[in-house]
Chain A
């Protein structure tokens, strides 16, 4: 137990941190509705797993309900969130000779000034019918640009369930690629929130210098 007392560098650092964070650190902030937001200084993450209990379920359900309530009451609408964080990825291609399919698909999107973004159902249509994806991400040979200079943009709600989808076998390919794509755009100095970051498949392949045969030209 003595050893912890001699972690001098960390302790000094922590003192400085405390000074800087004094107003916000370790505070219990009453945010109303009987809820308190807690703050913590750095500490080791030690996760234990315990069997689910009715209490845990109760808390989890309550937390979800309250989160939803806060989300709607925070006065920050979905569009504002998208403006701040959503990456424009690319739907610079469409299914071959299937404009009707694409148009139908886009009816399920919310249209913004920047183009389109997926509402909440990327794997299938929002009407619950399932529906095939209009894009074959893994086979760029099947994809054609709608017309020269016509770049179709998609602001993908990548964070909405992103983590969960990554863990699901059906979602790995799509979301992982989308997220990687976004990061690569950033890495080459492009703003993923800008319509200037919309590219055709060919353009993106050229920019990133990747092998077209590996899907989306970015692998």
Chain B
């Protein structure tokens, strides 16, 4: 059993990586703030100059990815 959670720091604020998903060859993260529990984000992961970077997804992708994460989390939780 994994007793550790992955946390990413965004703008000096810690976010828990709640779920990860690969869609169309890209990795996405659903993260939730550990400081303000009401804050969350969906991040796209990508490589640049040998570094792994993340950024928020474009607005037009939000609805789709949110639904995919929802389904995934429902499935993972079952």
Residues of A within 8 A of B (CB): 24-25, 28, 34-52, 55-56, 58-60, 62-64, 67-68, 70-72, 74, 76, 78, 81, 84-85, 120, 157, 159-164, 183
Contact = CB atoms under 8 A, between A and B. Distances in A.
B30 A160 contact: no
A120 to B, nearest CB: 6
Contacts of B43: 40
13 contacts: A35-B39, A37-B39, A37-B62, A42-B54, A42-B55, A44-B54, A45-B45, A48-B8, A51-B4, A63-B40, A70-B70, A71-B74, A163-B20
Contact of A162 (B7, B9, B22, B54): B22
Given A41-B55, A45-B45, A49-B4, A60 B32 contact: yes
A51 B7 CA distance: 10
B72 A161 contact: yes
Interface size class on chain B is 35 or more
Contacts of A50: 4-5, 7
Given A55-B34, A120-B75, A43 B68 contact: no
A40 B4 contact: no
Contacts of A58: 37
A48 B39 CA distance: 19
B67 A76 contact: yes
A44 B4 contact: no
Nearest to B11: A40
Contact of A67 (B38, B54, B69): B69
Contact of B53 (A45, A64, A72): A45
Given A47-B6, A62-B37, A160-B72, A81 B18 contact: no
B12 to A, nearest CB: 10
Contacts of A42: 48, 53-55
A36 B31 CA distance: 12
Contacts of A71: 66-67, 70-71, 74
A40 B42 CA distance: 9
B52 A159 contact: no
Contacts of B40: 35-38, 63
Contact of B68 (A38, A46, A72, A85): A85
Contact of A36 (B18, B36, B69, B73): B36
Contact of B3 (A24, A38, A52, A84): A52
A159 B72 contact: yes
A163 B73 CA distance: 11
B41 A64 contact: no
Interface in B45-69: 45, 48, 51-56, 58-59, 62-64, 66-69
Given A49-B4, A60-B5, A160-B71, 17 more contacts: A37-B41, A42-B53, A44-B54, A45-B51, A45-B52, A47-B7, A50-B4, A51-B3, A60-B32, A62-B32, A63-B40, A71-B71, A76-B63, A81-B71, A159-B71, A160-B72, A164-B76
